[in-house]
Amino acid sequence: MHRLLKTLSGMLFIIVALIAIALGYLKTNSNIRNRVFASLCNSLANPNDTKMMNLRCDEILDKSRINGNVLEIGAGTGINLHCLHNNTNIKSWIAIEPNPYMKHYIDGYISKLNIKFQTKVLHISATKMVDIQSDSIDTVIMTHVLCSIPDPLPREVLLEAHRVLKPGGKFYIMEHTIADRHVKPNMNTFQLLIGPLWKIIGDGCEFKPIANYLDDMKHVYKSVTYQKFQAPIKLVIARDHIKGVLIK
């Protein structure tokens, strides 16, 4: 029995050591981290996930909302194209996506969904969208992006979105957020504890108080409204979400 416990302890130590080495490698090698994250996103953003796709397509990106020249900040794998591909109100779709390994998946969706409107993918930072003219975009969309943008840059992204929007243009957002410490103190604590590991695996993703960023924009946009909710996803730790609309 003693020998068995000693063997199991040794195996556990080796496993933990290998995991630590792998995480350390991901943390220091941005190229590998981007590649792994792109693959992970493609696995998690499943177009066959009916509940989550209904949320994306029927609530956040409903056809009656999205029109004209559309800018998507942090397009990721292009999963939102499943909601946009048959929207005849869209003239063009510009995707901002700094991770070069996402483009393979985006191009795949563009081809598979037979996208008719003009598309363009830009590998630039959303904090300085120099390739996009001011007052040129009708609709901005962003889903699950701000969590990966280090502070204080989320404010810069929201300001840039305001700059490129036409007067009266709308910005639709959906993000996962840190749990309210007064409502869900245990989840909030767990999110903070697992945060450093989550940040490595999620390519910079953190549990953030997204509502604070939106509140900070109330003096910039004509209107800022949002609602917190529980997303229909299996990953319990990331169910706390927020959705909102910002109008220029």
> According to the model, what pLDDT value does residue 18 have?
43
Is 180 domain-assigned? yes
Residues 119, 100: Cα–Cα separation, whole Å: 16
Contact 109, 42 (CB under 8 A): no
- Count of CA atoms in the C-beta half-sphere (13 A) of 224: 15
Is 228 domain-assigned? yes
Tokens (6 digits) for 228? 């917190």
Treating both helix axes as pointing N-terminal to C-terminal, what angle do 2-28 and 30-44 enclose, rounded to 10 degrees? 100
Is 19 domain-assigned? no
Residues 201, 235: Cα–Cα separation, whole Å: 14
Say which DSSP state 3 is in.
H
Residues 224, 240: Cα–Cα separation, whole Å: 20
> According to the model, what pLDDT value does residue 103 have?
93
Residue by residue, pLDDT tens for the chain (248 residues) are: 555 444 544 444 445 444 444 444 445 556 666 777 788 788 888 888 999 999 999 999 999 999 999 999 999 999 999 999 999 999 999 999 999 999 999 999 999 999 999 999 999 999 999 999 999 999 999 999 999 999 999 999 999 999 999 999 999 999 999 999 999 999 999 999 999 888 877 778 999 999 999 999 999 999 999 999 999 998 899 999 999 999 99
Tokens (6 digits) for 99? 């991770």
Task: Count CB-CB contacts under 10 A for residue 88.
Answer: 9
Is 4 domain-assigned? no
> According to the model, what pLDDT value does residue 221 have?
99
Q: Which residues, listed in sequence order, are joined to residue 165 by a DSSP beta bridge?
A: 137
Q: What is the CATH number of the domain that holds 172?
A: 3.40.50.150
Question: Which residue range(s) make up the domain with 122?
Answer: 32-247
Task: Count CB-CB contacts under 10 A for residue 193.
Answer: 10
Q: Which of 155, 37, 149 is nearest to 100 (CA)?
A: 37
Q: Which of 244, 243, 216, 217 is nearest to 229 (CA)?
A: 243
Backbone angles phi, psi at 77, to 5 degrees: -80, -5
> According to the model, what pLDDT value does residue 4 have?
46
Is 18 domain-assigned? no
Tell me, yes or no, if the pTM score tops 0.85. yes
> According to the model, what pLDDT value does residue 19 have?
46
Task: Count CB-CB contacts under 10 A for residue 104.
Answer: 13
Residue given tokens 């029927």 in the structure block: 58
Is 75 domain-assigned? yes
Is 12 domain-assigned? no
Residues 106, 98: Cα–Cα separation, whole Å: 13
Is 2 domain-assigned? no
Q: Please give the tally of structural domains in the chain.
A: 1
Residues 148, 126: Cα–Cα separation, whole Å: 12
- Say if strands 90-96 and 240-247 run parallel, antiparallel, or are unpaired: unpaired
